[in-house]
Amino acid sequence: MEYTFDFVGITPVLSFFNHQLNTSTPKKRQGAAYLASDRCTLDAFLESIETVPQERGWNLDRVVDSVIAFWLRNGEQVQHWKRRLEDAGSENLLVARVADFSALKAEFESLLGES
């Protein structure tokens, strides 16, 4: 399985935790996982991977590899989000999405009403 990692945006801490509570049912755990950190560092996002439920059956070593690869290839984007997080203040988190490609494709197709 191959994985993808990307930043989604900035959100208040309480909004992110509310989202996580609303998506905690097993059926909703099949798509992408959303990670958040109050720091825009590689270490912070690698630590946040530990929160991904093991029921997903993901190979967490490969997820870690995809996050590291993203960080190495997208330095300019990382710096952009680091500045946005600093501008947003301490009550906010930087949110990222990690998913296996097939689950992400299925999620997008379901949003578009395709099969």
Mean pLDDT of 44-51: 92
Give the per-residue pLDDT at 55.
Answer: 72
Q: Using CA atoms, how far apart are residues 77 and 80, in angstroms rounded to an integer?
A: 5
Q: Using CA atoms, how far apart are residues 38 and 59, in angstroms rounded to an integer?
A: 25
Domains of the chain by residue range:
3-112
Chain-wide mean pLDDT for the chain?
88
Report the DSSP beta bridge partners of residue 100.
3
User: Coil, strand or helix: which one is 103?
Assistant: helix
Q: Which of the pair, 63 or 109, is modelled with greater confidence?
A: 63
User: Coil, strand or helix: which one is 31?
Assistant: coil
List pLDDT tens digits, range 10-47.
Answer: 999 999 988 777 776 555 455 788 999 999 999 999 99
Task: State the DSSP H helix or E strand holding residue 34, giving kind and residue range, or none if neither.
Answer: strand 33-37
pTM: 0.84
Give the per-residue pLDDT at 24.
Answer: 63
